[in-house]
Amino acid sequence: KMAEKQEEPSNTQNGEPENAEEGEGKKKKLKREDLPPFEIVTGERLPAIFFKFQFRNVEYSSGRNKTFLCYVLETQGKESVTSRGYLEDEHAAAHAEMAFFNTILPKCESSLRYNVTWYVSSSPCVTCADRITETLKKNKNLRLTIMVGRLFMWEEPEMQAALKKMKSAGCKLRIMKPQDFEYVWQNFVEQEEGEEAKAFVPWEDIQENFQYYEEKLAEIL
């Protein structure tokens, strides 16, 4: 499945023209091969170095201005289908959260139920939070849980308001615990081929940082 997908030159899934939404920001159409994988390939894993830097739950996230979003999408119909992958928002005109709704789940069929879990390096910006709220209000058959490494601009009143709206629309927002980071490491990070999977090594302040953000989030919500 994986190799097939990679060779596919365009994203004609769902019958959408390739650059419909994410392409608006690109001046000229670049060949897919010239870009790091923004498109999703099922089973894609992110390089360990990205994970170690981007997902680190530090308080000051200088240089961490990309969003990495690992997702598990469970579609429940007559049969349940689970897909997973990761998105990063470098080449999309949209942030990773928007790109998920534009490319991975452009429409929710009303006869199906969708359980979506995101593991994201940081919580969404105001615009993305508003889009998430709207999407959840429109699609009652969509359940979304967002596990975040850090809170983004949480001191800003409009950010706090946007997170509260997400919660009232039914979005579960959680701070990633050490075991959640380990889950991402095992399921979404490239392991060296032929070697035993390397164990997840927690960084020094992982537990304190988790507790710090968990308190902040509890105050906001």
**Residues recognised as catalytic:** 97
Short-list 154, 206, 212, 161, CA closest to 179:
206
Kindly give the pairing relationship between strand 172-175 and strand 68-76.
unpaired
**What tokens does 221 get?**
């919500």
Residues in Cβ contact with 65 at an 8 Å cutoff, skipping those fewer than 6 apart: none
- The residue whose two tokens read 């993305």 is 128
Q: Quick one: tokens of 191?
A: 């392991």
The answer to whether 76 and 108 have CB atoms below 8 angstroms apart is no
**Which H or E element spans position 187?**
helix 178-188
Helix (H, G, I), strand (E, B) or coil at 146: strand
